Structure 1
Amino acid sequence: MMAPVLRAWIYLLLSFLTLHTFSLSVSSCDVGWFGERCQYKCHCTNSSCDLQGECTNGSKCERGWFGPECQYQDLAVNGRILTLPLQERDKVLDGDEDTCHDNLQQMILTWSINYPLTWFRIKVLESDPDQLLNLTVLLKPHKTHDTTVINHPYINCSRKRTSFVNNRTVDVYCDVREGVQEILVYGAGIKTLCAVYVSGGRNVALKQTAWQSSTSASENAVASRAVDGKWLGQFQDNSCTHTDINDKTPVLKLTLSQPANINRFEILNRNDCCQRRLMYFSFETRSAKNDSVHVYRDAADAPQNSYTIVSIDPKEPVTTFTVAAHNEWQGYVVLTLCEVELYGDSACPPGKYGLECNETCNCAIKDDECFVSTGTCALGCAAGYYGDGCKQACPPHFWGVNCLSRCSERCSGSTCDSVTGRCVSGCQLGYKAPDCTEVCNPGNYGANCTLACPANCANGTCDHVTGSCVCKAGFHGASCSQAYSECCCNGTCNHVTGQCPLCVKGHEESQIPTCIRCEQTTQDTVIRDLFIALFIISLAVIVILVMILWRRFKQNWNVKRANQKVDAKQLKVYLTVRHQSGFPQKPSQSANNGVNQPTTESISQQRSQSANNG
């Protein structure tokens, strides 16, 4: 009875110890390192990384590094922008993604090393996604001091693929089989350009398995020092390898955990002494099939502090790197390496990406292989995701490929499924499920359009939100469920109140608010209506008579006024004639002589008598 229980407890205890031990091993990385085996160097400012390599405490990628986990070296960090005034160039290459342009038309960026361009990243303040995804990109293989755009021997970005990271960031991939030192980018998408990063690859040699043919017993300078991430060059710092002086053909071999496409080899020599030991060194890389891929032999006549060898067109991914010393100096052939860095990227199998090729692509199209560097996809992330690796779920109110579609405003709560766009809590009244972008079909209304319009609606249609409608003839009410009285309305009534605009002959409108009938008229109401009609007619006759009398009075008045004006004029003429005839008399003299001057009235009487005599 106790045996099964005891076994279960033992199993749980062992599981806990295993997980606890694993947790301690993962969290025991030295400061500045991360990963399951602490094999990746943190390139965040202040070395602030979590166990997955994400920058913490508000830190960001160190200047000269960018991309997922800040693992990609930036070739543009010491580059130049040729198309901008000198004071404006720092906005693009200052490492600050918040200093941006406001009206940039094009950009020409150049850097120092002739390098096979694989991909670059553009950061803007704001842009339309379609504009970001449709930039024009031209490349120039060889450096020139000509700073104009005209007549540049640019080549196309072969097999250009563009992936959307977020609404500020886009990655551009080119398949170029030659070295490039300059790019030209133009289009509306870079109007508010903030930053540009050009990938120089990531160091795939770091903390990989290292072996050397011999080790100096007195120095303990083991092979792993060549890939410990310390770019110091001082032997006393315990960062350099050293083979035994009796080893006549010393070599060091690196074995990569994942096949990788290598574009650049960086080898650090000692800078405190003995640099001539590395002169005329050689190296070779081999593929998983043991085919030789890269072969190099140094031919310089003088030693160097470090060596940079660029591979323009690697034939296939490699799994091993072997370097050998050949120069005999002071009687010995000794291989001393202070660091070996191999820059490129993992050659992940289809459908995989990441530093260890252990991440699964999450593309919108099944056959669209994601980019091994970022995990983003040329045809967009799977619906519901965006960002590096297409691992970030859509923010609230967005859905679809790259999370570029916005949830319908008619969703209840404005939230929807990030993959399908379906409104999670249903639609607002009057809109159809599942995405709530269309109004209800004719004949339906309400929540998710599940209600049928009232049966007595005209044409069978109603408001898609409330269900209200114009009733058929003979019905009224909010739902057109009440019929009008047959004796009441002359065929129709108000579709809401039921009131009759016109009653049938012999009936009048009821005072009842719903007015569902008309009452039959009585003799009293007929007499009342007759008196009202006679009163109106009488009033109209009186008004007409008053108007006629007024018009006659006004005409007589106008005639009298006209006659008075004529008499006054004749008097004036008479006085003028008398004066001219030599009978000037003052009014007082006329009065003393008993002669009366003619007046207006006498003249008028004389004119009247003359008229009668005539």
Structure 2
Amino acid sequence: MNYFIIFSLFFLYFNLHTKACNVGWFGDSCQYKCHCRDNAKCDATGACNGTEECERGWFGYKCQYRDLAIDGVVSNLSTPQPVNILTDGNDTSCLADRHAKAVAVQWNTSVYFTWLRIVVRNPSVLTKFNVSFIYNLNQSIPSFCNQHRLFVVNNLTADFRCDLSQTTWKVILEGQGLSSLCSVYINGGRNVALKQNASQTSNYSTLMSAENAVDGNSVDIFFNKLPYSCTHTIVGDKSPRWTLTFEEVYTVYRFILFNRGDNQERLAGFLLQTFDAMNRIVMNYTDPRRSISDKYYVNTNSPTLPLKRITIQATSSELILTLCEVETYGDCPPGKWSLACNLSCDQLCPSKCLVHSGQCETNCVGYTNPPNCTFECPKGRWGVNCSSTCSNCFHGDCNTVTGECILGCLGYDNPPYCTNGCSTGLYGKNCTQECFNTCRNNSCDSSTGHCQECVVGFHGDFCLDECESGNWGPRCANNCSINCFNNSCDNVNGTCSIGCIGANDPPVCDTICQSGYYGKNCSEVCSSHCVNGTCQATTGHCIVHENKLDSSSQETALIVGIVLALVAVVVLLLFVTIRWRGKVETTLREILQKLQCGRDNLDEFDCNENRNTQLETKFENSYHNYENEPEQSTAILVKDFSSYVLSHDSDFFVQEFKRITNPREFPTEAASSLENRQKNLYANISPYDYNRVMLTVNSSKNETDYINASYISGFDDEDTFIASQGKYMIDR
């Protein structure tokens, strides 16, 4: 039993150690080469120990992707000077020129472009790049990718993908992100030929077998110390051929053939063929130069078609084939992932997934629908899953990937980035419009042109509207002086622009008219009916009217008053007597109606019989409740007065009297004086001072000129009529 346990442990130990990869290799079959920085070792998964940085010239997942940027010249087109700092493999060293306009990577031969990776130090500009291409040396204007995609790796790293149908000589990067650019990596694919199944038609020695061309060692010294690293067919092989068969299918972009250091002419004019999984020829390539070279670069003619097998055949006269290394750069075909490309993508993204994880893309730059990323952002949106809003762009339109303003800026002057605000006095598209000179300090909103504040005397968004009549000053907040004619004044300084009213010194208008004058600029003379020729300076109304009542007029008025009083007493006595005697058949209404008809005999009543009916109809049920009924006039015809009185009770007249307004527009000092107050029948009915009737007085009798009466202007402003509340017993 003990021997069995010991044997089992020994067997397990033997298997673990015999399957361990040599230093610098990893993978299930030790088929992947480590590319850690500073020759650091990688673990069994390919992770670099102690660092995440890759050896210069390699990048990406497990440092397996060849960087084409180091094979070209990287230059700052603004200088132009080489900027090797972008290809040093150090993502913390960044471009020093923060005002660079463009950076270019150019090769001395054409390459297939699939995608590039950029690393920045400022995450806010991660996606703000434009990528364009020069396909041949005769092309002067760069071409843009028709269907590009940008994927965010992390907050400082993004991948720009574009499947070009042709090779390119130069890649140009532009955009706001250049100010923060640290590294540029251009994908050259993975070397998918390593440790794959190689064979050749003959072996010069078992030490020079076909596997030497895919062992990862490209040293070109043929007779190097053991082990040998190059292949060699036998002399006399009439058709020497080397064949490589992949375990899986791969899309291939480029081949690099490493020749031996001596006898290099044997490889000149070689024939390279590729085959798909159905063993159909995809490409036939014959070296056209037939000249010797250390390395031969061959671009595939079908970078999107998966390949299963390649062959290389010697065509020189010596018919000996020697290869020190054959590097085949490509990647997984659509729908596959992992280093071995033997796993299928998630069903949510069956044709596009992350090659290192198989997961679907979750972040589309410029598109709304990850993982497919086929629906472009709507107008006004851009960025990762269209989550950003175009800012400072004219008409709100911007590039869906970079956010750069397509049609120019609004309120900014440096398209397409639109980061510099307009200078004072400018606004609009690219700051090309000037603020209106009615804007205070020539300052306006850089987008709309609306003034921040208007100059004195103007208002409105653009301050183009002068103050309305009656206003002036800042924000038109001041009112014109009451002394300005037609309430009109200068919109800036408030002076009376078209003259004065009640004053005579335009445009200031602060000197009131002299006595006897009124109106515009005091050009009108007061009426001759005004006492002492004085009147109001603005209206011309007399302050005090001349007395137009002589003694005979006063006596006439006194007689008329006495007669009216006697008539009233007689009517009252008749009414009391009839009611006291119980003669109900003869009512006061009948008496008054007979008086109206001019009848002397009160017992006879044959006046228009319809009158009584009309009166009853007119006043019967005269009170109604209507919602929102307009206020009715209280005017009564003289002929209807008595009927109106008899048809309403005393409470009605009390309420009606209370509704009478009594605004006093002008002074009533005479009526309000202590000595005259008791001459007013009603406390709230008084004559104005400027048009009251003034009596002729006898100074020896200590009389006053006051009576509760006023002149009313008649035709042609003649003070013809007198309005009075009636004779009061104390008037004397």
TM-score band w.r.t. shorter chain: 0.5 to 0.7
Q: 2:254 aligns with which of 253, 264, 274?
A: 264
Q: 1:92 aligns with which of 86, 90, 96?
A: 86
Asked if 2 retains the 8 angstrom alpha-carbon contact of 1:104 and 1:192, the reply is: no
Q: Which amino acid aligns with 1:174?
A: C
Cα distance change on mapping 1:95 and 1:104 into 2, 3 Å: farther
1:395-454 deviation per Cα after TM superposition (whole angstroms, max 9, x unaligned): xxxxxx99x9xxxxxxxxxxxxxxxxxxxxxxxxxxxxxxxxxxxxxxxxxxxxxxxxxx
Q: Which amino acid aligns with 2:323?
A: L
Alignment of 1:138-177 (within 5 A): 138-143=132-137, 152-177=140-165
Alignment of 1:234-245 (within 5 A): 234-237=221-224, 238-245=228-235
Deviation at 1:87, TM superposition (A): 6.7
Structure 1 Cα separation of the partners of residues 358 and 102 of structure 2 = 27
Q: Is 1:123 the equivalent of 2:140?
A: no
Higher relative contact order structure (alpha carbons within 8 Å, sequence separation ≥ 6) = 1
Q: Where does the alignment leave 5 or more consecutive residues of structure 1 unmatched?
A: 1-5, 145-150, 382-400, 405-614
Structure 2 Cα separation of the partners of residues 60 and 176 of structure 1 = 29
Structure 2 Cα separation of the partners of residues 232 and 41 of structure 1 = 16
Deviation at 1:270, TM superposition (A): 1.0
The residue aligned with 2:341 is: 357
Structure 2 Cα separation of the partners of residues 71 and 82 of structure 1 = 28
Q: Which amino acid aligns with 2:90?
A: D
SS state at 1:99 partner? coil
Q: Is 1:186 the equivalent of 2:174?
A: yes
The residue aligned with 2:219 is: 232
Deviation at 1:194, TM superposition (A): 0.4
Using the size of structure 2 for normalisation, the TM-score is 0.45
Structure 1 Cα separation of the partners of residues 65 and 168 of structure 2 = 17
1:168-200 deviation per Cα after TM superposition (whole angstroms, max 9, x unaligned): 100111010111122233334443110001111
Structure 2 Cα separation of the partners of residues 304 and 87 of structure 1 = 30
The residue aligned with 2:35 is: 43
Structure 2 Cα separation of the partners of residues 183 and 269 of structure 1 = 29
User: For structure 1, which segment, 176-185 or 201-210, has the greater mean C-alpha deviation from structure 2 after superposition?
Assistant: 176-185
Q: Is 1:318 the equivalent of 2:314?
A: no
Deviation at 1:362, TM superposition (A): 6.7
Structure 2 Cα separation of the partners of residues 210 and 89 of structure 1 = 40
Structure 1 Cα separation of the partners of residues 169 and 242 of structure 2 = 32
The residue aligned with 2:58 is: 65
The residue aligned with 2:77 is: 83
Structure 2 Cα separation of the partners of residues 245 and 20 of structure 1 = 45
The residue aligned with 1:597 is: none
The residue aligned with 1:494 is: none
1:468-492 deviation per Cα after TM superposition (whole angstroms, max 9, x unaligned): xxxxxxxxxxxxxxxxxxxxxxxxx
Structure 1 Cα separation of the partners of residues 221 and 186 of structure 2 = 31
1:267-321 deviation per Cα after TM superposition (whole angstroms, max 9, x unaligned): 11111x2222222221111000111111111232422222111125436111101
Asked if 1 retains the 8 angstrom alpha-carbon contact of 2:120 and 2:180, the reply is: yes
Deviation at 1:136, TM superposition (A): 2.5
Cα distance change on mapping 1:186 and 1:17 into 2, 3 Å: farther
The residue aligned with 1:32 is: 24
Structure 1 Cα separation of the partners of residues 216 and 344 of structure 2 = 28
Q: Which amino acid aligns with 2:221?
A: Q
RMSD: 3.3
Structure 1 Cα separation of the partners of residues 299 and 136 of structure 2 = 14
Deviation at 1:134, TM superposition (A): 5.5
SS state at 2:212 partner? helix
Structure 1 Cα separation of the partners of residues 172 and 321 of structure 2 = 43
Deviation at 1:368, TM superposition (A): 7.1
Cα distance change on mapping 1:368 and 1:339 into 2, 3 Å: closer
User: For structure 1, which segment, 226-235 or 134-143, has the greater mean C-alpha deviation from structure 2 after superposition?
Assistant: 134-143
Structure 2 Cα separation of the partners of residues 169 and 156 of structure 1 = 21
The residue aligned with 2:332 is: 346
Structure 1 Cα separation of the partners of residues 73 and 43 of structure 2 = 30
Deviation at 1:133, TM superposition (A): 3.8
Asked if 2 retains the 8 angstrom alpha-carbon contact of 1:283 and 1:323, the reply is: yes
Using the size of structure 1 for normalisation, the TM-score is 0.53
Deviation at 1:373, TM superposition (A): 6.6
| Aligned length, in residue pairs | 359
Structure (1 or 2) with the greater helix fraction: 1
Could you say which structure has the larger radius of gyration? 2
Asked if 1 retains the 8 angstrom alpha-carbon contact of 2:92 and 2:182, the reply is: yes
Structure 1 Cα separation of the partners of residues 51 and 341 of structure 2 = 28
Q: Where does the alignment leave 5 or more consecutive residues of structure 2 unmatched?
A: 365-383, 388-732
Structure 1 Cα separation of the partners of residues 281 and 314 of structure 2 = 19
Alignment of 1:190-339 (within 5 A): 190-217=178-205, 220-237=207-224, 238-271=228-261, 273-314=262-303, 316-329=305-318, 333-339=319-325
Cα distance change on mapping 1:268 and 1:101 into 2, 3 Å: closer
